[in-house]
A and B are shown apart, each in its own frame.
Chain A
Amino acid sequence: MTDFPHTPPRQSWTFSNDVNAEIRRAAATGIYDIRGGGSKRRLPHFDDLLFLGASISRYPLEGYREKCATDVWLGTRHAKTPIHLDIPVTIAGMSFGALSGPAKEALGRGATEAGTSTTTGDGGMTEEERGHSRTLVYQYLPSRYGMNPDDLRRADAIEIVVGQGAKPGGGGMLLGQKISDRVAAMRNLPKGIDQRSACRHPDWTGPDDLEIKILELREITDWEKPIYVKIGGARPYYDTALAVKAGADVVVLDGMQGGTAATQDVFIENVGMPILACIPQAVKALQDLGMHRAVQLIVSGGIRSGADVAKALALGADAVAIGTAALIALGDNDPALEAEYNKLGTTAGAYDDWHEGRDPAGITTQDPALYGRFDPVLGGRRLKNYLKVMTLEAQTIARACGKSHLHNLEPEDLCALTLEAAAMAGVPLAGTNWIPGRNGF
């Protein structure tokens, strides 16, 4: 019998091992996959943009000699007391409940030492973060857990959350494992239940109502506090325009790489747009309304480095917010904990079951034995270091582009490595003056 060559086993691209594993998991458990974090897809991102740097036509500034300012004012449109930050990198909203008390304290410590703000989340304001945050933004969410006028007044700004990048149009769920006595008391819920967060605000719908809601919050706080409106990256042109129309001082725009404490994986990976595609649309809305820089724009979703900060600002943002990167700076997903991640069936860098409350780093847990491992002073120092490095990196790039302030960066300083990034960011493909979609082609 002749032994003919055989066709080697061939895996399906459509039904890959990962896809098949998820089908088997769903069939065995009867529940969709819930996880934390943001999109893990390869998406068009800031990596696909490059700065051109100075040349004969532009003078660079001398590194470490000539000043490149980094400060930012937020809330100058209507608030009696706008916020002034030393650096344009803020800490995004993350709840006590999703995060441990010591982790919230560390975020406050690090942000304050670096001269920036931190933000509450869907669980009310804790003493840890108010006490350790010089500038604290208080989120006003559909669930209104812990909402009260005293905390509104002791906040430095109010952020009305309409949506977030990981799940535009979606609510949240904090699984029972993390509803400890303290979390349950703050949210006025029975201990240990799966807590659902609504996807819509209970007492307003649409932009006309939002305008009245903003009026109410301004009246309660005597027009002192800047009012931000946070939107998920879905229809950034129209959502930004409507937020401005409703009276927002600041628009916070979160792309699909932005993290969440817990949501369906199918939601995270299939709803919303990458932040790169969102920023130019939001900036255009502000420009069309004559409000660019008058209403400030904070962008988030996958900001990792000073280069990302500089690129976001060059596209027209006033500041950025970081969440996932801040947690990594605190110690989340650290390879030093690899053995413990292995026990949870995962590996450092991939751990995203934050909702289960078993985080060995003590950050995304309410287990006293686990969060007791986390040192908020050390965590705060690490975050401060990271924020300072990001700022220095952004300054380095800005000086190379001849800018004396990070806000002087502009789209003309950028080119794109891919057609997709060129079209989304509205900057030329590298080596050409072609911006796909502009001038009719």
Chain B
Amino acid sequence: MQVFDLEAQGLRALNATLHALTGQTNETAWEIVNPRGSHAIAVGVDAPVDITVRGSTGYYCAGMNKQATIRVKGSAGPGVAENMMSGTVIIDGDASQYAGATGRGGLLVIKGNASSRCGISMKGIDIVVHGNIGHMSAFMAQSGSLVVLGNAGEALGDSLYEARLFVRGPVKSLGADCIEKEMRPEHLLLLADLLKRGEADHLAKPEEFRRYGSARKLYTFNIDNAAAY
């Protein structure tokens, strides 16, 4: 286990060290101590390593992650795992706004609640939230899956494209062009896999969720839908 004291060694040294890791590295386990809410912790990592952050993080922790498994033993600030490409990011606590924004791949697990705009503009990432999510989540979400064991705030899935949304609890309101859809067997299989990978299969069953997706009415501009734009 490599231990990196962020307070003593600084952010630049941390990210430079992590960027130097390659697929052949033997230093596969890292622990970052004293994060103290710093921004941009472990951003741009591109190696199959396991990184544990002992404490809470500021903005953009694990941004653009590739391959790495990054665990935050605390809560995460805005934009955690933004534009993630692959790998896994697990937040033990809560996540602030824009969690998983524009993510293109990999898995983001939030064991607490996620704030507003969770999964905004997501492009292939899978997100599993054990708690609730805030308003405007999955805005303009393009692809990937968002699984919420708790409740969803206002305007879920506004202007949605092809992302799949699964929510177990009540949804305060659906955004423009987002509708409830039939849960078919393939969705139950997908959900079971996501719950397992999201360390939530002991907390909920696929049958307890409802599925939401795009009505696809805004895919081509029509003046009669002007009120929805």
Contact = CB atoms under 8 A, between A and B. Distances in A.
Contact of B140 (A147, A152, A198, A220): A198
Interface string B20-64: 000000000000000000011001101000000000001110011
Interface stretch (A201-209, A387-395, A427-435): A201-209
A305 interface: no
A219 B12 CA distance: 7
Contacts of A189: 142, 161-162
A123 to B, nearest CB: 13
Nearest to B105: A148
B44 A221 contact: yes
B83 A143 contact: no
A196 B140 contact: yes
B82 A222 contact: no
Contact of A144 (B46, B123, B223): B123
Interface stretch (B96-104, B166-174, B194-202): B96-104
B98 A202 contact: yes
Given A190-B219, A203-B79, A203-B82, A216 B40 contact: yes
A221 B40 CA distance: 12
B183 interface: no
A351 interface: no
Give the bracket for the number of chain A residues in contact with chain B.
Answer: 20 to 34
A31 B226 CA distance: 10
Contacts of A222: 15-16, 19
A84 interface: no
A215 B14 CA distance: 14
B175 interface: no
A144 B140 contact: no
A149 B143 CA distance: 19
B44 A149 contact: yes
Interface in B130-160: 139-140, 142-143, 159
Nearest to B139: A202
A31 B64 contact: no
Contacts of B63: 216, 220
A19 interface: no
A223 interface: yes
Interface string A207-250: 00100110110011111000000000000000000000000000
Contacts of B213: none
B117 interface: yes
B39 A212 contact: yes
A125 to B, nearest CB: 14
Contact of A30 (B46, B58, B223): B223
Contact of A204 (B79, B85, B143, B221): B79
B66 interface: yes
Contact of B121 (A149, A176, A198, A216): A198
A368 B73 CA distance: 52
B83 A148 contact: yes
A144 B83 contact: yes
B117 A215 contact: no
Interface in A116-165: 143-144, 147-149, 152
Contacts of A148: 64, 83, 85, 104
A134 to B, nearest CB: 24
Contacts of B82: 203
A82 to B, nearest CB: 18
B124 interface: yes
B121 A143 contact: yes
B120 A203 contact: yes
A148 B65 CA distance: 10
B65 to A, nearest CB: 9
A374 to B, nearest CB: 28
A7 B171 CA distance: 68
A147 B159 contact: no
Given A198-B140, A203-B102, A223-B12, A216 B220 contact: no
A407 B228 CA distance: 50
A378 interface: no
Contact of A219 (B44, B83, B159): B44
B192 interface: no
A216 B19 contact: no
B102 A202 contact: yes
B98 A193 contact: no
A216 B41 CA distance: 9
B102 A220 contact: no
A188 interface: yes
A194 B79 contact: no
Contacts of B221: 31, 173, 175, 194
Interface string A350-377: 0000000000000000000000000000
Given A204-B79, A212-B60, A220-B64, A194 B219 contact: yes
Interface in A32-83: none
Interface in B204-229: 219-221, 223-224
A203 B116 CA distance: 11
Nearest to B223: A30
Contact of B44 (A31, A176, A220): A220
A203 B161 contact: no
A205 to B, nearest CB: 9
Contact of B60 (A149, A152, A213): A213
B215 to A, nearest CB: 13
A149 B12 contact: no
B106 interface: no
Interface string A158-200: 0000000000000001011000000000001110011010100
Please name the 7 residue pairs, one residue from A and one from B, whose CB atoms are nearest each other, closest first. Answer: A220-B44, A30-B223, A203-B98, A203-B79, A193-B219, A203-B101, A144-B102
Interface of A: 30-31, 143-144, 147-149, 152, 173, 175-176, 188-190, 193-194, 196, 198, 202-204, 209, 212-213, 215-216, 219-223
13 contacts: A31-B223, A144-B102, A148-B104, A152-B44, A189-B142, A196-B159, A202-B101, A204-B98, A215-B40, A216-B59, A216-B60, A220-B64, A222-B16
